[in-house]
């Protein structure tokens, strides 16, 4: 069995995280030994860190379970484990220095992992944005360090308060830029869609599930520990977060409908879902909703990307226009995707509703009514791309002969999906199950806790809902109706073949285009405001920036022309200037 050795490291990681979670340890170290005075770094197993560490360990485990006949390229798993350890370093670090180290290792290992499959263009996009994000983070950390001479989170709030007005604004802007790039907030998402779409099918679930969550973790640290957003309810920071998150959810939902590639659609869906988190983090109370939604999004994106990876493995097609009609050939995968999209749509009785419920309640309690309306509008608009996802792959008609003979995906793809789907169903039935753990985090962050009830009830200030009753009612009514339908005396005749449909009185055949999948959503462009969204892209902005940079570089190019004597003269002038400056 090849699968056993592949699982050793993930299991060790799960074990290590379990031990850390149960130990609640603190580890600190002065860097005096290394000649760095006054710098303390440390690791700390806070409840918040544990929460994200559990997500990382679970995701690694789920991704490692995926196994088919294809194995990833050489070195893939080594890099994946390196990435995992860098993520654990990010969440467990107690200071911005180790955090930055983890962040850099994460960016570089992600780059190496992406470099297996990405086109050069997409790879350059990724690395430019990753470096911009890291440099902006470094600059922000240095600004913070300039006043307190400490990297520790514990001193960060004092250090932030000691900053001058301009510097504090600059600090927050730089930090937000760094995290927005990683989250892929709309406008900063230019690298994300290509990277997700072209990355290795084994890696995309991990990329979407946890690597983007690191920025959510960092955002929570920044907003709650460093800036303390609860003191600034109507500040520009809150408005920036709320608006950018909302725009992400709205624009990405419409962009997703227009995509023909499954993974590109899911990438936009990730942007949209993380938009909810960014918006709700504009309130200190929103941390509970943000954490719950992170949990749900991690699980559901693992499920969906693994499902899509299975489809690509079996059919070697990745576009809706080349798929379709797979439901009766791959029934198990279909049911898994159905569970996934119900969670993604945030519908009761499954778990996705619980997190949306918390988010909506936070926005309602804080009186942010227009944002809440627009948020729910974005959530309703998401139905279109969610339906496109399931219809384009499983429903409708097969678009080629080859699809009529495919088989169900291998067990290696199904096992992780079953595990995740079970968790999602349990979370939907017992939405209050994680409330105590969320409360531990909230107490640690000195925030308002959620009212505690039984594990079947998810409570907030304005009232709760009982997941067990909703689930029980759903299942019972469903069974009764199905029973009634089946027990009726009328016979049911199966359609002769897939062409046995109502088709305006004509008889379709092999040559008729019957799959509606790839053009679904195209007609949305005819609606005024959606057309504006679909026709515009952040590409134009970045093209503009790069053109300006080229023009700017052109000036230097005229002087630094490659002519050797000219270069020597410039060098000499430079050295003379340096000498003059140092002797001055």
Stretch that binds other proteins, among 120-128, 150-158, 288-296, 362-370 (CB under 8 A): 362-370
Closer to other proteins by CB, 76 or 383: give it. 383
Residue with tokens 């939902």: 253
* Residue 453 within binding range of other proteins, rule CB under 8 A: no
- ∠ CA 336-337-342 to the nearest 5 degrees? 100
Q: Which residues contact 512 (CB under 8 A, 6 or more apart)?
A: 499, 503
Closer to other proteins by CB, 111 or 465: give it. 465
Closer to other proteins by CB, 81 or 465: give it. 465
* Residue 433 within binding range of other proteins, rule CB under 8 A: no
Q: Which of 249, 132, 115 is nearest to 179 (CA)?
A: 132
Q: What is the DSSP string of 76-123?
A: HHHHHHHHHHHHHHHHHBSBHHHHHHHHHHHHHHHHHHHTTT--HHHH
User: Would the CA dihedral through 435, 437, 440, 441 be positive or negative?
Assistant: negative
Interface size with other proteins, residues (CB under 8 A) = 73
Binder to other proteins among 47, 232, 384, 425 (CB under 8 A)? 384
Stretch that binds other proteins, among 38-46, 291-299, 363-371, 401-409 (CB under 8 A): 363-371
Binder to other proteins among 19, 473, 553, 577 (CB under 8 A)? 473
* Residue 364 within binding range of other proteins, rule CB under 8 A: yes
Residue list 390-429, contact with other proteins (CB under 8 A): 390-391, 395-397
Residue list 495-514, contact with other proteins (CB under 8 A): 495, 498, 500-504, 513-514
Q: At what angle do helices 76-92 and 47-65 cross, to 10 degrees?
A: 170
CB 195 within 8 A of CB 114: yes
* Residue 69 within binding range of other proteins, rule CB under 8 A: no
Q: Please, what is the minimum distance in Å from the beta carbon of residue 411 to other proteins?
A: 22
Residue list 530-569, contact with other proteins (CB under 8 A): 530
Binder to other proteins among 156, 345, 389, 430 (CB under 8 A)? 345
* Residue 243 within binding range of other proteins, rule CB under 8 A: no
Three-state secondary structure call for residue 436: helix
Q: Please, what is the minimum distance in Å from the beta carbon of residue 362 to other proteins?
A: 12
Query: Containing H/E element for 28?
Result: strand 26-30
Q: Please, what is the minimum distance in Å from the beta carbon of residue 434 to other proteins?
A: 19
Q: What are phi and psi of 309, to 5 degrees?
A: -60, -40
**H helix runs in 445-487, sequence order:** 467-487
Q: Which residues contact 470 (CB under 8 A, 6 or more apart)?
A: 348, 349
> How many angstroms from the chain centroid is the CA of residue 496?
44
Closer to other proteins by CB, 221 or 520: give it. 520
Closer to other proteins by CB, 145 or 499: give it. 499
Closer to other proteins by CB, 144 or 520: give it. 520
């Amino acid at each position: 069995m090849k699968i056993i050795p592949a699982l050793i490291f993930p299991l060790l990681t799960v074990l290590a995280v379990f031990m850390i979670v149960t130990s609640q340890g603190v580890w600190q170290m002065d860097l005096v030994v290394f000649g760095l005075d006054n710098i303390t770094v440390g690791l700390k197993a806070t409840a918040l860190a544990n929460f994200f560490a559990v997500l990382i360990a679970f995701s690694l485990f789920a991704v490692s379970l995926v196994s088919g006949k294809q194995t990833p390229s050489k070195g893939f798993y080594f890099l994946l484990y390196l990435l995992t350890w860098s993520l654990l370093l990010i969440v467990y670090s107690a200071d911005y220095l180790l955090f930055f180290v983890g962040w850099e290792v994460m960016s570089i290992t992600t780059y190496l992992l992406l470099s297996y499959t990405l086109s050069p263009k997409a790879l350059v996009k990724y690395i430019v944005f990753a470096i911009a994000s890291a440099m902006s983070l470094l600059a922000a950390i240095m600004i913070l360090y300039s006043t307190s001479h400490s990297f520790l989170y514990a001193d960060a709030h004092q250090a932030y308060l000691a900053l001058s007005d301009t510097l504090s604004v600059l600090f927050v802007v730089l930090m937000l830029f760094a995290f927005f790039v990683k989250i892929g907030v709309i406008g900063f998402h230019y690298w994300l869609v290509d990277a997700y779409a072209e990355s290795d099918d084994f890696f995309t679930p991990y990329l979407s599930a946890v690597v983007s969550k690191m920025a959510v973790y960092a955002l929570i640290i920044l907003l709650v520990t460093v800036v303390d957003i609860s003191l600034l309810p109507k500040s520009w920071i809150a408005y920036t977060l709320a608006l950018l998150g909302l725009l992400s959810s709205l624009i990405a939902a419409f962009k997703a409908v227009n995509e023909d590639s499954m993974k590109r659609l899911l990438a936009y869906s990730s942007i949209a879902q993380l938009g909810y988190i960014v918006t709700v983090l504009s309130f200190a109370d929103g941390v509970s909703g943000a954490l719950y939604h992170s949990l749900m999004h991690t699980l559901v994106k693992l499920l969906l990307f693994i499902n899509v990876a299975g489809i690509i493995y079996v059919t070697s097609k990745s576009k809706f226009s080349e798929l379709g009609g797979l439901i009766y050939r791959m029934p198990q995968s279909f049911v898994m995707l159905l569970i996934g999209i119900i969670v993604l749509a945030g519908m009761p009785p499954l778990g996705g509703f619980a997190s949306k419920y918390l988010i909506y309640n936070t926005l309602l309690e804080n009186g942010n009514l227009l944002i809440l309306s627009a948020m729910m509008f974005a959530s309703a608009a998401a139905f279109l791309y969610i339906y496109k996802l399931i219809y384009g792959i499983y429903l409708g008609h097969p678009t080629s002969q080859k699809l009529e003979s495919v088989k169900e995906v291998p067990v290696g793809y199904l096992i992780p999906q079953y595990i995740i789907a079970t968790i999602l169903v349990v979370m939907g039935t017992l939405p209050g199950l994680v409330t105590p753990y969320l409360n531990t985090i909230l107490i640690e962050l000195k925030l308002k806790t959620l009212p505690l009830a039984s594990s079947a009830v998810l409570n907030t200030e304005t009232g709760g809902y009982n997941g067990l009753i909703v689930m029980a009612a759903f299942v019972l009514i469903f069974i009764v109706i199905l029973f009634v339908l089946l027990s009726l005396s009328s016979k049911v005749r199966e359609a002769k073949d897939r062409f046995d449909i109502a088709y305006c009185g004509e008889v379709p055949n092999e040559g008729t285009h019957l799959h509606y999948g790839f053009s679904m959503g195209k007609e949305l462009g005819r609606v005024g405001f959606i057309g504006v969204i679909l026709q515009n892209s952040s590409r134009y902005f970045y093209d503009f920036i790069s053109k300006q940079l080229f023009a700017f570089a052109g000036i230097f190019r005229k002087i630094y022309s490659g002519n050797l004597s000219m270069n020597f003269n410039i060098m000499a002038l430079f050295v003379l200037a340096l000498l003059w400056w140092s002797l001055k």
